[in-house]
């Protein structure tokens, strides 16, 4: 039996496939390559180029392969853009989830691991954030992911599709062998943008606001290594295989780093001074996001291996140094 990875050519999806293949799993990927990269597709996986909003290709995949479970990464992910283009997000993320769940139900596939986000919480009431805390997204991206979780909840009750939803905090880094990594067009994420300065691809990094209610005025985020995230998907799969009930888990290191602290850490890793400029706040950015991952640790037995932020940045640096133009597509 195989695992269908939707969005397996993307950043987190490709790392999950890497770990799945390493764990001896048979993997089938569907990716429309709009943001995913051909160069990120694991050669050990069977690849279908297609869109999850296309019921025909999903039914074809479920017919041609014995799919035991789905891991779903295929979604738009930019909080800032989602504020400008909410319908783009509801179409791909929410409608995409509907088509995927319909096809799973039609084809008798009853397990799904879902790529959710800290953005479902919005501005949190307390720290660290626990799974049952208030969820009031402040951007359509977070709202779309929350709706997707709710869709799975109702479908699990009505149609018996069990799910694990993994709410990632800030995914970062790359596999240590440097074979795959982060490459977004346009790039909006902090670490790759910071590293473009020592790479000579960017003159400076703009800090989006220093008037937040945080110790140094810049946003605090909980950076978690992409391989630790990938491993959580394998544990979630094991949990569902062992009959675990539908569940939701936060995934983070439980420690907040400010934008300024991340720049200093990147200077240490690269050994270069990184020029900064002060900008205004970016729409849709909460001041702080810091996870409690106690539940994932206890129930899934998850232990992040990359707790150190400089270590996380150094794996990203290995990738970007060796692939200054990403996958080059
Ligand atoms: N930032 C800057 N300058 C930049 C880019 C980012 O100051 O040029 C700041 C942002 O304002 C934010 C922090 O760096 O405070 C991190 O920004 P990212 O864009 O790297 O990440 P986000 O926190 O916005 O979002 C990421 C993912 C989402 C996910 C979220 C959950 O993109 O998919 O983490 O925490 F939902």
Give 46-96 pLDDT, tens digit per residue.
999 999 999 999 999 999 999 999 999 999 999 989 999 999 999 999 999
Binding site membership of 77 for ligand 1 (Cβ less than 6 Å): yes
Ligand 1 centroid to residue 284 C-alpha, Å: 10
Binding site membership of 190 for ligand 1 (Cβ less than 6 Å): yes
Among 137, 190, 193, say which to mutate for ligand 1: greatest number of ligand atoms within 8 Å of CB.
190
pLDDT given at position 188:
93
Among 119, 140, 173, say which to mutate for ligand 1: greatest number of ligand atoms within 8 Å of CB.
119
Binding site membership of 47 for ligand 1 (Cβ less than 6 Å): no
Nearest protein CA to atom 4 of ligand 1, as residue: 190
Binding site membership of 289 for ligand 1 (Cβ less than 6 Å): yes
* pLDDT tens track for 113-166: 999 999 999 999 999 999 999 999 999 999 999 999 999 999 999 999 999 999
Ligand 1 centroid to residue 285 C-alpha, Å: 7
Q: What is the 3-state secondary structure (H, E, C) of the chain?
A: CEEEEECCCCHHHHHHHHHHHHCCCEEEEEECCCCCCHHHCCCCCEEEECCCCCHHHHHHHHHHCCEEEEEECCCCCCHHHHHHCHHHHHHHHHHHHHHHHHHHHHCCCCEEEEEEEHHHCECCCCCCECCCCCCECCCHHHHHHHHHHHHHHHHHHHHCCEEEEEEECEEECCCCCCCCCCCCCCCCCHHHHHHHCCCCCCCCEEEECCCCCCCCCCCEECEEEHHHHHHHHHHHHHHHHCCCCCEEEEECCCCCEEHHHHHHHHHHHHCCCCCEEEECCCCCCCCEECECCHHHHHHHCCCCCCCCHHHHHHHHHHHHHHCCCCCCC
Rounded-to-integer distance, Cα 155 and Cα 161, Å: 6
Binding site membership of 221 for ligand 1 (Cβ less than 6 Å): yes
Binding site membership of 143 for ligand 1 (Cβ less than 6 Å): no
Binding site membership of 208 for ligand 1 (Cβ less than 6 Å): yes
Query: Which atom of ligand 1 is least distant from the CA of 205?
Result: 8
Ligand 1 centroid to residue 303 C-alpha, Å: 24
pLDDT given at position 319:
97
Nearest protein CA to atom 26 of ligand 1, as residue: 170
Indicate if the alpha-carbon torsion angle 79, 293, 173, 53 is positive or negative.
Answer: negative
Nearest protein CA to atom 19 of ligand 1, as residue: 189
* pLDDT tens track for 185-227: 999 999 999 999 999 999 999 999 999 999 999 999 999 999 9
Percent of the chain beyond pLDDT 70? 100
Ligand 1 centroid to residue 216 C-alpha, Å: 17
pLDDT given at position 284:
82
Pick the closest to residue 97 from 124, 69, 70, 131 (CA basis): 70
Nearest protein CA to atom 15 of ligand 1, as residue: 219
Cβ(287)–Cβ(216) below 8 Å = no
Please identify every residue annotated as catalytic.
Answer: 141
pLDDT bucket at 10, cuts 50 / 70 / 90: very high
pLDDT given at position 283:
86
Binding site membership of 287 for ligand 1 (Cβ less than 6 Å): no
Nearest protein CA to atom 20 of ligand 1, as residue: 189
């Amino acid at each position: 039996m195989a695992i269908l990875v939707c969005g397996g050519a993307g950043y987190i999806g490709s790392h999950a496939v890497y770990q799945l293949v390493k764990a001896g799993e048979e993997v089938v990927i569907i990716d429309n390559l709009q943001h995913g990269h051909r160069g990120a597709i694991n050669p050990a996986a069977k690849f279908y180029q297609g869109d999850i909003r296309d019921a025909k290709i999903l039914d074809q995949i479920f017919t041609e392969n014995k799919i035991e479970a789905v891991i779903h990464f295929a979604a738009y992910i930019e909080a800032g853009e989602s504020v400008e283009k909410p319908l783009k997000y509801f179409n791909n993320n929410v409608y995409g989830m509907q088509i995927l769940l319909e096809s799973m139900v039609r084809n008798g596939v009853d397990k799904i691991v879902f790529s959710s986000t800290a953005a479902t919480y919005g501005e949190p009431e307390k720290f660290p954030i626990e799974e049952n805390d208030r969820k009031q997204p402040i951007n359509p991206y977070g709202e779309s992911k929350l709706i997707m979780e709710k869709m799975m909840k109702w479908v699990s009750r009505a149609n018996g599709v069990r799910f694990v939803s993994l709410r990632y905090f800030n995914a970062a880094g790359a596999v240590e062998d440097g074979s795959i990594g982060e490459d977004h067009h346009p790039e909006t994420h902090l670490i790759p943008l910071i590293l473009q300065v020592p790479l000579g691809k960017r003159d400076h990094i703009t800090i989006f606001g220093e008037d937040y209610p945080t110790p140094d005025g810049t946003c605090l985020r909980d950076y978690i290594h992409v391989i630790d995230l990938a491993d959580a998907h394998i544990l979630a799969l094991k949990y569902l295989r062992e009959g675990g009930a539908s569940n939701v888990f936060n995934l983070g290191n439980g420690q907040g780093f400010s934008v300024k602290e991340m720049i200093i850490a990147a200077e240490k890793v690269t050994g270069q001074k990184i020029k900064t400029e002060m900008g205004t706040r970016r729409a849709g950015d909460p001041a702080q996001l810091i996870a409690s991952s106690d539940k994932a640790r206890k129930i899934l037995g998850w232990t992040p291996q990359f707790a150190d932020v400089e270590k996380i940045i150094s794996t990203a640096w290995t990738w970007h140094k060796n692939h200054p133009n990403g996958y080059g597509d």
